[in-house]
Amino acid sequence: MKKILATLLAVSMTAGIVNAQQVLSRNAVGYVKVDVETNKLTLARVDFEPMNASEWTIDSLFSDSLPVGSIIAFWDPVANSYVTAGRTRSGWSPATNVIRRGEAFFILSTENTNLFFMGEVPDSSPSTYTTVIENVVGMQALGYPYPAEQYWTNMNLAINAAAGDILAVWDYDSQSYTSFGRTRSGWGDATNIVFAPGEGFWFRTDALQTWTEVKPYTWP
């Protein structure tokens, strides 16, 4: 476990997701199921808003759903390093890290676990509802901010990217990543990349960007 954590802290670009399943209901509450295996890195994202709070924290999102010894790791693009929270017998330490839609994080569990991320579907009205993620620059762990499957090249982040920008996709089975570069002619093989609900990715750019996405659905 210590060796895996050391690898996590040392690697400059890694990410992933496993068996994500998504369900939406008519009352605008939904969930994503994420199955994680023992000591394998998973990069996840939260697709929903909390129902009884203004923001998600480590404690409100995970509570006791992960076993003692598990780790959640966030990438800090300013410090260029990871910030981690660990599950102890008395709870998460620290427990107040904020988790935002559109940002991704690593999960490292000490047991095979079925996780359920449940919350309010963003936003049932109006039809032009948007999510804005500011200050995208350098290397960041991100995720499509809605509970829906989406092609990479349909995201505004990819559409507005400049030549030289990089997408990195984590392969959960091999625990390795594949990088795709934006050229003057487009994204090449990355045009076939589809991200499932709950799945994160890495993006690197030298130009400061504001990422804006209109919700892709009219339901619930």
The one-digit pLDDT tens for each residue of the chain (220 residues) are 444 344 343 433 333 334 455 554 445 889 999 999 999 999 999 999 998 888 999 999 999 999 999 999 999 988 889 999 999 999 999 998 899 999 999 999 999 999 999 999 998 667 678 999 999 999 999 999 999 999 999 999 999 999 999 999 988 989 989 999 999 999 999 999 999 999 999 999 999 999 999 999 886 5
Torsion sign across C-alpha atoms 128, 134, 136, 141: negative
Number of C-beta neighbours around residue 135 at 10 A: 12
65 touches 113 (CB < 8 A): yes
Q: 69 with 114, same domain? A: yes
How many of the other CB atoms lie within 10 Å of CB of 125? 9
| Nearest 10 degrees: Cα torsion 107, 110, 113, 115 | -30
- Residues contacting residue 6 through CB under 8 Å, at least 6 positions apart: none
Per the structure, the complete domain to which residue 199 belongs is given by 130-214
Domain annotation covers residue 158: yes
**Cis? peptide before 216, omega within 30° of 0:** no
Whether residues 58 and 151 fall in one domain: no
Is the distance from CB of 54 to CB of 99 less than 8 angstroms? no
Q: Tell which of 87, 120, 153 closes a domain.
A: 120
Does 125 reside within a domain? no
Note whether 114 and 6 are same-domain residues.
yes
The answer to whether residues 135 and 188 belong to one domain is yes
Are residues 135 and 116 both part of a single domain? Answer: no
DSSP 12: S
